[in-house]
Structures are given as structure tokens and as C-alpha cells.
Amino acid sequence: MRKSIIFTLCWLASTAVAQQYTKEDELVLPPDYREWIFLSSGIGMTYSGSASQNPAFENVFVNPEAYRQFLKTGTWPDHTVMLLEIRLSESRVSINKDGRVQTTVRAIEAHVKDSARGGWAFYGFQNGADKGKIFPKTADCYSCHQQNGATDTTFVQFYPTLIETSKNKGTYKETGH
């Protein structure tokens, strides 16, 4: 009993600020997203085939309550917020001699599930802004995620700790090469 009270309180504390909007319908950047659940990093990922000589890392975080629900159900609950943090990279930092390490943030985007606002939407935070503008529903990201997202329009195929759960729950869609 005490454990469930603690869990409930933690749940309230951890989800309180996941999803807030301004009066202008901008998404407020969750100030604590770096304390959310890390899903994975890629580097230099591209869907067009044009490689970069100075590739960026892409870190993906999700709010803790959505992550726990996903582990139970294999899909994302309403009010899921996924944050894509794009960071520049360098190679020769301190004693590192090859490969790449992460440096400064170049851009942040959010993918938000909100049934009260018509389902999933993408937001972009420009130049360090702490409020993100919605991408129009005609933007490529919507159709690409719809077509190629393994699970519920999200790229679970790139999140190694979620793939098995999604497959076991029957929510995983194989996507082409």
C-alpha cells in the first residue's frame, strides 16, 4: 500500500510538466527532459542517402510515464512526449583520438501525442527557444512517420530496448530497406 502511494506520488511528480502549451499553442520545452528516459542515440542518420562529413548525434528521450505504459502495452499512451535532441559532434576532445563525442545542441524537436489536439504532432524549437512551433500537418515528417514508423508512427525500430516489447505485444510493423 505504502509502495503504491509512493509510486503514485512519483508518477504525479514525474508527469506534471511533460506537456504544456502557451496561449499561442506553442509547446513549452520540458525543462527536465534530460532527466527523462533515454531511448537511443544515432549518429549521422539520413533517410535521403546524403552522408555528412561532420555528423550530428540524435538523442531521443521520452517522459517516464509514457515509457512505463509502453512497456506494459507496446504502444504510446495519450500525452506521450518524445524529445529529439540533435547535438554536434567532435573527434579529438581531451584524450580521445578517434570516433566522435557529443558537444553542443544544434536543434530540438518534439513528437507529441495529444488526442485533444488531433493526435500526434511535431514541434520545432528554433535557435535555443524554450517554446516550439507546430510543424504543419503537410510536412514530410508526418507522412514519413506514418509510413515508416514501426510502432504507432514512432521509430521504435531504432530504440533497441523497446523493439522486443513491441513485437511481443503485436504492435510492431516491419519497415522496408
Which residues of the shown chain bind a copy of itself in the complex (CB under 8 A)?
6-7, 9-10, 12-14, 34-35, 37-38, 40-52, 55, 57, 59, 61, 64, 67, 87, 92-104, 144, 148, 150, 155, 157-158, 160-161, 175-177
Query: Is the Cβ of residue 95 or residue 116 nearer to a copy of itself in the bound state?
Result: 95
DSSP 3-state of 176: coil
In the bound state with a copy of itself, the residue whose beta carbon lies nearer, of 42 and 124, is 42
Query: Would you say 124 and 109 are in contact if contact means Cβ atoms under 8 Å apart?
Result: yes
Dihedral over Cα of 17, 108, 60, 157: its sign = positive
**56 vs 121, beta carbon nearer a copy of itself:** 56
User: Count of alpha carbons within 13 Å of 115, Cβ hemisphere only?
Assistant: 3
Q: Which is nearer to a copy of itself, 92 or 117 (CB)?
A: 92
Q: Which is nearer to a copy of itself, 10 or 129 (CB)?
A: 10
What are the backbone dihedrals phi and psi of residue 52, each rounded to the nearest 5 degrees, phi first?
-105, 145
Q: Closer to a copy of itself at the Cβ: 20 or 103?
A: 103
Q: For the chain, state the CA radius of gyration.
A: 17
Torsion of CA 142, 146, 152, 155, to 10 degrees: -80
Q: How far is the CB of 69 from a copy of itself (least distance, A)?
A: 13
* Helix or strand run (H / E) with residue 145: helix 140-148
- Shortest Cβ distance from residue 112 to a copy of itself (Å)? 20
Q: Please list, in sequence order, all residues whose beta carbon lies within 8 angstroms of the beta carbon of residue 17, skipping any fewer than 6 positions away.
A: 28, 30, 31, 32
Closest distance of CB 117 from a copy of itself, Å: 27
